[in-house]
Structure 1
């Protein structure tokens, strides 16, 4: 009898606040003072997605990635300080839990940002082991802040946890540790690959901390480019990705490993660490194209076409059902799943995306909807905190003809308002039928859904009458 094909390993690296215009293979690199040869080579060996879309910032994107659901459904919509209810509730089923249920070894090394108490840590949500931070990197600046009082604010730590055991605090997460953490995450990732290569299929999730502010590099990379801390940090990130790639190669498993590199949202906007969205306008925390559209590169030798690029729409929620199809995982059927299976597009079996568009919320407010080549803005805010302008007549932009979103085409291309409105109405009907989990819901909160009705409004054809 023929032997069953071995299940593929999956390595998923998620950069933090890496804009579309930073990497060499997306038009940045040397232009940004920071060549990125390892990630550029990865793009040449796999498929580069030019229209990969995410949520507005760190928490909602990570929630969408882990659940395949838009964060307006999960209640995980924003970063909040330590000690306040946050993240996804235990009822949510994560991508890591789906891998674990199929016998995969699972590990996460990096930034979680989806819960900071027992029951909500990564080791409670499908990962066999975790080392990293429960919240975010700007907490490293607390120690040097004027009047900082550790008696009233939880002191940030790097943490470690294993499934079935309490998480433990390790190093203080101060500015010096901020410089060192990605080195630690990378080393642990390489060790994990070595311990499982050729033995057990594995899912390795590495949400790095670069390029989140404060964007400062490891001391070994300090001054490397001569272009400042931001460029040095970008070079460090490229090198860390290269180290993980080398571990996959050195252990002879590249041919059976799906290697994914992506970013969680558009570029950092806080000066002096301002990032770049390339040809697009805007940064994260907005509905501009520079917030939505970020790098995604996938390599799987012999399966994912090499040297290919596609401008078809893909959304971060699609990664769950797509990886489920590839790895033989089960997608939950007792709740709305917004992601669609993009394996045919990924494997070169289809030229078109399985979706035509998606809705875009910031917290609970519908800000925009993107469909084919167009985007409709219901609320206009180009810079974070500039003040949202709720539009009586929504703007419509053709983002192929007008990547900066400067020329409203309501008059000349107004026909697109129909299918966009249908897509929005379908999604809102789904929210009504399946009420969202409220932010800050307790651990024992359990939604009650009738799954009889509403199809995924984001799937191809979902926006049409």
Structure 2
């Protein structure tokens, strides 16, 4: 005690001369949003995967024990719409981002959309993205044009890593995707082609750059928002040399182990920087698993893969930790949708939510903090591309198209919708019928009808709309 008192007195004296630097601690929480790519519900150990999938995930499992784990967290069915929903708090059908762009052109978010980093920047946060963007490839629609102070990563997706190593693609002069970097106020620059070798290394680079960003933010005494959309385990699921062969179960399991390691590195750095108690961490995925062998993922107890309306496409892992605020060890099956993260994080960060457009995300702060056992949401519409394929409400689900376990078969619209009780029938195998369950049609169809009515009042932005975009004047 005497030694501590002497040190404190010495430092107090040095403060008067400016020789003992003290960094002001931000009152707003830091936010680290970790988004995995095509990580199915059934991959982390705490969700039933881990060693049963040949890839233990101790860091993700530990994170779950320290916060809230959701079993009914829902996302959009594809990469681009999910990332759009997270960035804007709006279902992607509204923003012209309802599908993964495959034909080039003016894809991604218009400048009119207000993104979470824009909201948090105005609230005093340093903001950065390290990883996969997938919301625009053109200058003007890259992360540094949409609210991020800096970014490093890929503008589109990892399957383009095949191109630089494909003689036919090269012979036909297929444009290559580059790893890029940029800062707010300047154009983004190409760093290197996104080859298969670069694909193996990029998540290590993402981790290192995120750590450097956190270090600099803490040094400056400013709250930070680090959006970390890793590229694993999207195909080709190729591990770095440090993890190749580590699981003994192939590249995919190696990649899952590497994913868990990188998450652990970020969490260790948060502890090393001594900002654990003032840092909110989210771990989740953009959509359900891929169905391409040998990179086929697991949806755990659900059926179906991404690009479908099946639960295996819509439900992903979701963990949130904020020591002293989010109760540790809690598990909930309440419905939450990824659009809610925009509204919730904007409130927690002290940002202003746009009032001139429909925001679909609801504020889940009280639910996440354990002040209420119930989610602020009862249901949501299910879009696959630009098709309304279903709707969820409480434990019920109604679908308007035939089931698809994968995205290779064309969608077939049903003559009569099917309804499922997801508690008694989690695999969506036994449609409800009979007079005793006809009552469910009213709330389910009402949920869908309200959203469709909103689209009529606020017409969605067409995919490919150039900037500047201005919405129609409301009558």
How big is the alpha-carbon RMSD for the aligned residues of Structure 1 and Structure 2?
A: 1.4
Residue pair 2:164, 2:193 contacting (<8 A) in 1 also: no
Deviations 1:222-273 (A, max 9, x none): 0001010000000000000000101100000000000011100001111111
The residue that corresponds to 1:139 in the other structure is 160
**Contact 2:115-2:147 within 8 A present in 1 as well:** yes
Q: Could you say which residue in structure 2 is the equivalent of 1:461?
A: none
Q: Please, what TM-score do these two structures have when normalized by structure 1?
A: 0.94
Query: Any residues of structure 2 matched to 1:190-205 within 5 Å, and which?
Result: 190-197=211-218, 199-205=221-227
Q: Give the equivalent residue in structure 1 for 2:49.
A: 28
Residue 417 (structure 1) aligned with residue 445 (structure 2):
no
SS of equivalent to 1:405: coil
Aligned equivalent of 2:137: 116
Tell me if structure 2 keeps the 8 A contact 1:48–1:298. Answer: yes
Give the TM-score normalised by the residue count of structure 2: 0.92
- 1:291 maps to 2:317: no
Residue number in structure 2 paired with 1:217: 239
**Which position in structure 2 is the counterpart of 1:405?**
428
Q: 1:178-197 alignment to 2 at 5 Å?
A: 178-197=199-218
Deviation of the 1:284 alpha carbon: 0.5
Q: What secondary structure is seen at the aligned counterpart in 1 of 2:169?
A: coil
SS of the equivalent of 2:60 reads: helix
* Offset at residue 404 of structure 1 (A): 0.6
Instruction: Tell me the CA shift for residue 449 of structure 1.
Output: 5.2
On the 8 A contact 1:82/1:154 being kept in 2, the answer is no
Deviation at 1:112, TM superposition (A): 0.3
Is the contact between residue 82 and residue 116 of structure 1 (CA under 8 Å) also seen in structure 2?
Answer: no
Task: Determine helix, strand or coil for the equivalent of 2:316.
Answer: strand
| Aligned position for 1:251 | 273
TM-superposition CA deviations, 1:2-42 (whole Å, max 9, x none): x9980100000100000000000100000000000000000
Tell me if the contact between 2:163 and 2:170 (Cα under 8 Å) persists in the aligned partners.
no
Which deviations, in whole Å up to 9, do the C-alpha atoms of 1:310-338 show, x marking residues without a partner? 00000000001111111111110100101
Q: CA deviation at 1:442?
A: 0.7
> Cα deviation per residue 1:366-402 (whole Å; 9 max; x = unaligned)?
0010000011010113221223221111110011111
Tell me if the contact between 1:111 and 1:134 (Cα under 8 Å) persists in the aligned partners: yes
- Please say if residues 164 and 194 of structure 2, whose CA atoms lie closer than 8 Å, have aligned partners that are also in contact: no
- Output the CA distance in 2 between the equivalents of 1:375 and 1:41: 32
Structure 1 residue 366 corresponds to structure 2 residue 388:
yes
Distance 1:4 1:219 in 2: 38
Residues 248, 5 of structure 1: alpha-carbon distance in 2 compared, 3 angstrom cutoff:
closer
What corresponds to 1:64 in structure 2? 85
**Structure 2 residue runs without a partner (length 5+):** 1-23
Q: Which residue of 1 aligns with 2:365?
A: 343
Question: Match of 1:375?
Answer: 397
- Residue in structure 1 matched with residue 414 of structure 2 by the alignment: 391
Alignment length, in residue pairs? 449
State how far apart, in whole Å, the 1-side matches of 2:100 and 2:441 are. 33
Q: Tell me, what secondary structure is at the counterpart of 1:131?
A: strand
Choose 1 or 2 for highest CA Rg. Answer: 2
Q: Secondary structure at the match of 1:393?
A: strand
Could you say what secondary structure the match of 2:317 adopts?
strand
Q: 2:467 aligns with which of 420, 438, 443?
A: 443
Match of 1:434 among 451, 458, 468: 458
d(CA) in 1 for partners of 2:402, 2:95: 25
Residue 463 of structure 1 corresponds to none
| Partners of 1:272 and 1:211 in 2: CA distance | 12
Partner of 2:124: 103
Aligned to 2:170: 149
Contact 1:67 1:95 in 2 (8 A): yes
Q: Which segments of structure 1 move beyond 4 Å, counting only runs of 4 or more?
A: none
Greater CA deviation, 190-199 or 225-234? 190-199
8 Å CA contact 2:106–2:138 kept in 1: the answer is no
Provide the C-alpha distance between the structure 2 equivalents of 1:142 and 1:213, rounded to a whole number of angstroms: 13
* Structure 1, gaps ≥5 residues long: 453-465
Q: Structure 2 vs 1, CA of residues 176 and 351 (structure 1 numbering), >3 Å: closer, same or farther?
A: same
